[in-house]
Structure 1
Amino acid sequence: MNKMLIAAVVVAAGAGGYWYSQQADQVSTNDNTVLSYVPADTPVFSAQLQPFPIKSYINSLSESYRQYPAGALDEFEQESDARAKFLISLAKSYMASMKDGSTFIKTFGLAEEIRSYFYTLGAMPVLRIEVEHADAIWALLDKAEAESGFTHTQANLKGVDYRSYRLTDEAEKEQINLVVAVHDGLLTTTLSTSFSDAVLLETALGLTPVDNSIADAHIIEDIINKHGFLNEGISYINHKEIVTALTSTDGNQLAGQLSKLFEMSNEDPFAELKTPACQQELASIADNWPRTVGGYDQLEITDTESSFGFRTVVESNNLVLLDAYQKLRGYIPAYVQDNANSVFTLGVGIDINQMVPSLTAIWDDMLTPEYQCGPLAQMQAQMSQQSPGMLGMFTGMANGVKGVGVSLIDYKITDDIDNPQLESVDAVVTLSADNPSMLFNMVKPFAPELANVQLPANGDAIELSTIIPMPPEMNISAKMAIKGNHLVLFAGDKGEVVANNLGSDPLVNNGLMVMSADYMKMFKPLLTFIELTGEPVPEELEMMKDYDMRVKFSLDIDPKGFEVDSQMNSRSSE
């Protein structure tokens, strides 16, 4: 029974971790029959409701991205368990299919454009993908069975044929089975168990609709309209439904399933959460943080290039905390956000003057009201022994700081085979503050080499080579200056241009964090240098040489909650 319970928990965790969504033009849930089988109380949902150009997307990835290191699965080759060997075979087929878009869709029987859906029926995951050639799916599974010795049982439910693969040991009384079916042009992969309701599999296979579906509740439209995502591609985790499941025995579908599992194992790990106090207080917290939602702001795909803009929002209705977190936002310079003309950037915006009052407001809110629920009361007791006010002793040294920024704009390595070395570096490091000159003078006592350095008030830069000697082979000429509200350390002509432009930039609280990277610019010169030295290039790095991809990641907060914005651009190398 313990193995069965662990397997169920792993499946539920995997369902929560699955996070995939794409989108296109207009959303229309009324004519999407798949949604009538998705319950409104599903804890996890992700869907692409319009055709996604999967073939073009695979083609648009650089060739190195589609390749896997030789022997990537060698450590699993010695597996003796037929179930593990089955999964390894499928993984190998997937890796081989990534050769190009045509091979990928042929391997899995897909059309060039597909819709896909992932959700849970309580704890049971359901993945549904449009397929054009069902025979390809069966051929793929037949191959995996032949290579592993892991076989299926053929079954039929209300006229729908499906394969059932037993995941639990034969000695286990209870069973968990992997179910694979193709019906009405949809591949369905889900689980069935000996202890779940029979109607659950009917719903998963699209045979028995639910009474209150996600379409009936208009959840998709609500998320898109509230957050302004591109239509037809959203994902979410419903915190309120998860809390209901953990604090009740039958509050939703997931709660009923967990209660049955705990009854079978004679142990409820969440028993202390099912008191009236915990139910009320945790529900109140969930009302303030109801969902984590995600959707696209950009989606452009061709055979040669793909661009995505995906935004995740942790929704919040707690105005006190939102206001406190927003006051923590600091200044992130424009050059940090320019990922098109940089190798790597990092910017952290923190208003140091607001840190103590903001954290104190957050602390006070979390200690009010006084919780009666055991775990929450324990957390409050631990927090009450600490105080963010102590940070004041440290933040005083950084009074007026608004943020820091770093950018490696460019770097070059000579092609001299006999003496390869760093040819040039363009980079910028900034400290943005109300009075950067005062901060620089405060640091001097801790850095003796800076004791006699005076930075001109007019913004002129000073050479650092005599103050901080650099090895001649590095060929770096670093300079320092005060540019308006910014203490700037820079190198190279491009770095100087960025530094000079900072002089007129006012300090505005515009974010919390931004990070970006251009993989090709980052790795290609480095790999060239390794090759020139005659040293063997590690296979993992060799694959990155033509990795033509740019990524950008940012963290911010607005009146709707925390936002994580991810952008990606990839070009084919063929």
Structure 2
Amino acid sequence: MRIVVMLLAGLLGACSTSKKDLSSPLAYVPAETPYVFANLEAMPEATVQAYEEMLKPVGELYGTMLDELRAEVGKVGETEEEQRRIIGLIDLARDKMSIEGWERIGFSRRARAAIYGVGVMPVVRIELGDAAKLRAFMGEIEAVVGKAIPTAEVDGQTYWRMAPDESGSFAVVMAIIDQHLVLTLDAGPEVAALPDLLGLRQPARSLADAGTLQQLNREFGYTPYGTVLLDNRRLATALLGTDGNDTWFSRKLGRDGAALSSVCRAELMGMVEHLPRIIGGYTRIDGTGMDSHSLIELKPAVAQAFKDMVAPVPGLGGFDGRMPTEFGFGLKLDKLAEFIQVQANAVAAEPYRCPELADLNASARDIGRQTAGLYAAAGWFTGMRVVLQRLDWLDTTPDTQSIEGAVVIASPSPLGLIGMLKSFVPQLSSLELAPGAAPQRLPADGLEDAPPSWIGLNDVALAIGVGEGAEAQVPAFLGAAAPARPPLLHFSYQGAFYGGLMRKYSEIVNSITESALDQIWDGDPGAMNDEDKARKLERQRGRERSETVQRYIQRFGDAFNSMYDAVDYTAGSLVPVDRGLEFLQVMRVRR
């Protein structure tokens, strides 16, 4: 009977091994990896097409710029061989800024991929659609450049090895292994063995075997299209090691005269326990938008402290995208001060003994004495919400330079806050405000160019509305409900508004850059000999190159900013929960 059981066990084990999906990148990720970002399934075709459409302006500009660069070849003194290489590389890159272009060289829109750590060293592993096509493309690059990309071999596997210096102690490594493209960094066997990085030796237990990402997806409701896990404890252990089990990093510290003691290792690991893991994924992603969730896991006492800190602010935390842009926070300053004092007292009661952490002992003493201001302000202020509804400054040809919006300040005592403000701003002395009363116009003494503004308050907040029509909106801002789970931080913006803001920012930066270039390259050279004339010609060429680079940077910036025109709105909130801090974000595509 025992023999029969052994035979059955062997058969089951053989069947299990034969069914292992070695085409999955997760089959090569160690189960104990300190970090990973991977998709279990390829994104649906409709979703891929929707986001490719968003990137279309960038791809079109990329193609136009390559055409322009090609036309300029030969005008700045390149040799015929240099011209041939430049034109060859441009032609190779010309049609690659699209999914179809990438598929022509072997990649696949249906690919699974993983970015992960073997110890601390990063590895990128991507499924290929056709490995032969990618090898052929690498050959085309070598033919155009006129020399082979350096290669090496390990365990019978040839790979490309690109070292930034002659020492060769550090190199970027790329290999095509079966139907996978693998990219990693080789810093020597002391850090990580190259066969392990390349997956030539499979881990004893892989992340696919462990099912870790599948479990996270079930637990948090994530889709299979992208899950992230950062385990700070594993990362710290990979760096610091354990007593009697040093790592390359701890050995390096010892060689540099700063050996890592057991005390230092224990205290550093104790810090990491306050923030053990970060988890994230998409709860929804399709052609209409995406929803994502992240959890910053915290030590239970720390998580509870953040829950105690959060304060509701009227209207803060909506995910409806009604406002062009808004941001704010809700924070009980006395609870923040209490948390700081608890941490400072803990350090004072048991100071760090590690010499490298000694400065934290003094910092804890100092910060513990600086919380009085937080306690004092807690009686006046518990958060704010800033809303910007209109900013004509963003318009290309504005008829008026106006601004419309509001500032909502949450307070345990709005009337007391107004009384305190009157002592600092005498112009407010004429105001007679009462909870629920009609908003009053703010005096414009000394602020003749300021837009009209009104102020009002209720029992939990005061609001200042700015711009024409703000008087009627102040009560609505004050009466807006806070969500059931108020956020610690919140932001939202409409894509068109944000795109306009970034375009205006780019205009300012470009203007400053052009002015700086003028100062660098301009100037009266006076009388010149032949050598001076040669220098002037070189300076002129330098200026032309600088202006060309600046022009391309500006155009790329404009193309990226135009992507926001396809976004309806984006919103995000940081919310304290029992396990730590949740970050919730939504993005909707303009239909």
TM-score, structure 2 length as denominator? 0.72
Aligned to 2:490: 514
Q: Is the 8 A contact 2:405 2:466 kept in 1?
A: yes
2:227 alignment partner, one of 234, 242, 255: 234
Distance 1:335 1:281, change over 3 A: closer
Distance 1:490 1:95, change over 3 A: farther
2:283 alignment partner, one of 297, 304, 310: 297
Q: What is the SS of the residue equivalent to 1:50? A: coil
Aligned identity (percent) is 21
How far did 1:117 drift?
A: 0.8
Q: Is the 8 A contact 2:240 2:249 kept in 1?
A: no
Q: What is the SS of the residue equivalent to 1:322? A: helix
Aligned to 2:127: 130
> Could you tell which deviates more after superposition, 401-410 or 484-493?
484-493
- For residue 459 of structure 1, what is the amino acid of its counterpart? A
How far did 1:489 drift?
A: 1.0
Larger proportion of strand: 1
Distance 1:441 1:256, change over 3 A: closer
Q: Map 1:182-197 to 2 at 5 A.
A: 182-192=176-186, 195=189
Q: Does 1:38 align with 2:19?
A: no
Report the Cα distance in structure 1 between the residues aligned to 2:100 and 2:408, rounded to whole angstroms.
48
Q: Map 1:538-549 to 2 at 5 A.
A: 539=555, 542-543=558-559, 544-545=561-562, 547-548=564-565, 549=567
2:574 alignment partner, one of 542, 555, 560: 555
Q: Map 1:25-104 to 2 at 5 A.
A: 31=21, 33-53=24-44, 55-56=48-49, 58-66=51-59, 99-104=97-102
2:160 alignment partner, one of 164, 168, 172: 164
Report the Cα distance in structure 2 between the residues aligned to 1:351 and 1:445, rounded to whole angstroms.
24
Q: What is the SS of the residue equivalent to 2:207? A: coil
Q: Does 1:267 align with 2:293?
A: no
How far did 1:129 drift?
A: 0.9
Report the Cα distance in structure 2 between the residues aligned to 1:529 and 1:242, rounded to whole angstroms.
38
Q: Is the 8 A contact 2:159 2:176 kept in 1?
A: no
Report the Cα distance in structure 2 between the residues aligned to 1:354 and 1:96, rounded to whole angstroms.
57
Q: Map 1:363-512 to 2 at 5 A.
A: 363-376=344-357, 378-393=358-373, 395-397=375-377, 399-412=379-392, 420-422=398-400, 425-464=403-442, 466-467=444-445, 469-471=447-449, 476-491=451-466, 499-505=474-480, 510-512=486-488
Distance 1:416 1:509, change over 3 A: closer
Larger Rg: 2
Q: What is the SS of the residue equivalent to 1:341? A: coil
Distance 1:169 1:526, change over 3 A: closer
Aligned to 1:11: none
How far did 1:404 drift?
A: 0.5
Aligned to 1:313: 295
Q: Does 1:350 align with 2:350?
A: no
Q: Does 1:281 align with 2:262?
A: no
Report the Cα distance in structure 2 between the residues aligned to 1:356 and 1:196, rounded to whole angstroms.
45
Report the Cα distance in structure 2 between the residues aligned to 1:267 and 1:153, rounded to whole angstroms.
32
Distance 1:437 1:93, change over 3 A: farther
How far did 1:61 drift?
A: 1.4
Q: Is the 8 A contact 1:46 1:117 kept in 2?
A: yes
How far did 1:406 drift?
A: 0.5
- For residue 187 of structure 1, what is the amino acid of its counterpart? L
What 5-or-longer segments of structure 2 have no aligned partner? 1-18, 77-85, 515-550
How far did 1:119 drift?
A: 1.2
How far did 1:299 drift?
A: 1.5
Q: Is the 8 A contact 1:353 1:401 kept in 2?
A: no
Q: What is the SS of the residue equivalent to 1:333? A: coil
Distance 1:341 1:195, change over 3 A: same
How far did 1:187 drift?
A: 1.6
- The Cα offsets for residues 98-134 of structure 1, whole Å up to 9 and x where unpaired, read as 744333443x522232211111222432211111122
Aligned to 2:4: none
Q: Is the 8 A contact 1:62 1:547 kept in 2?
A: no
Report the Cα distance in structure 2 between the residues aligned to 1:556 and 1:206, rounded to whole angstroms.
39
Report the Cα distance in structure 2 between the residues aligned to 1:462 and 1:251, rounded to whole angstroms.
71
Report the Cα distance in structure 1 between the residues aligned to 2:424 and 2:137, rounded to whole angstroms.
66
Distance 1:428 1:150, change over 3 A: farther
Q: Is the 8 A contact 1:328 1:354 kept in 2?
A: yes
- For residue 547 of structure 1, what is the amino acid of its counterpart? Y
Distance 1:375 1:542, change over 3 A: closer
Q: Is the 8 A contact 1:67 1:95 kept in 2?
A: no
Q: Is the 8 A contact 1:484 1:503 kept in 2?
A: no
- For residue 280 of structure 2, what is the amino acid of its counterpart? G
Q: Is the 8 A contact 1:53 1:112 kept in 2?
A: no
Distance 1:218 1:414, change over 3 A: closer
> Could you tell which deviates more after superposition, 392-401 or 126-135?
392-401
How far did 1:525 drift?
A: 8.7
Distance 1:147 1:310, change over 3 A: farther
How far did 1:164 drift?
A: 1.8
Distance 1:31 1:164, change over 3 A: closer
- For residue 448 of structure 1, what is the amino acid of its counterpart? P
How far did 1:393 drift?
A: 3.5
Report the Cα distance in structure 2 between the residues aligned to 1:278 and 1:381, rounded to whole angstroms.
14
- The Cα offsets for residues 550-571 of structure 1, whole Å up to 9 and x where unpaired, read as 3333333222123333433445
Aligned to 1:212: 205
Q: Is the 8 A contact 1:48 1:116 kept in 2?
A: yes
- The Cα offsets for residues 249-282 of structure 1, whole Å up to 9 and x where unpaired, read as 7988xx544467x39xx8247x442x22223333
Q: What is the SS of the residue equivalent to 2:366? A: coil
Distance 1:415 1:512, change over 3 A: closer
Q: Is the 8 A contact 1:336 1:407 kept in 2?
A: no
How far did 1:340 drift?
A: 1.5
Report the Cα distance in structure 1 between the residues aligned to 2:572 and 2:590, rounded to whole angstroms.
19
Q: What is the SS of the residue equivalent to 2:25? A: helix
2:111 alignment partner, one of 97, 114, 128: 114
Larger proportion of helix: 2
- For residue 229 of structure 2, what is the amino acid of its counterpart? Y
- For residue 423 of structure 2, what is the amino acid of its counterpart? P
Distance 1:68 1:193, change over 3 A: same
What 5-or-longer segments of structure 1 have no aligned partner? 1-28, 79-87
Q: Is the 8 A contact 1:64 1:547 kept in 2?
A: no
Aligned to 2:532: none
- The Cα offsets for residues 393-444 of structure 1, whole Å up to 9 and x where unpaired, read as 4542451422111011234579997xx4337643111111122122012101
Report the Cα distance in structure 1 between the residues aligned to 2:369 and 2:395, rounded to whole angstroms.
55
Distance 1:346 1:440, change over 3 A: same
Report the Cα distance in structure 1 between the residues aligned to 2:409 and 2:89, rounded to whole angstroms.
47
Aligned to 1:244: 237
Report the Cα distance in structure 2 between the residues aligned to 1:530 and 1:232, rounded to whole angstroms.
34
Report the Cα distance in structure 2 between the residues aligned to 1:356 and 1:132, rounded to whole angstroms.
56
- The size of the alignment, in residue pairs, is 508
Q: What is the SS of the residue equivalent to 1:127? A: strand
Q: Is the 8 A contact 1:233 1:296 kept in 2?
A: yes
Aligned to 1:10: none
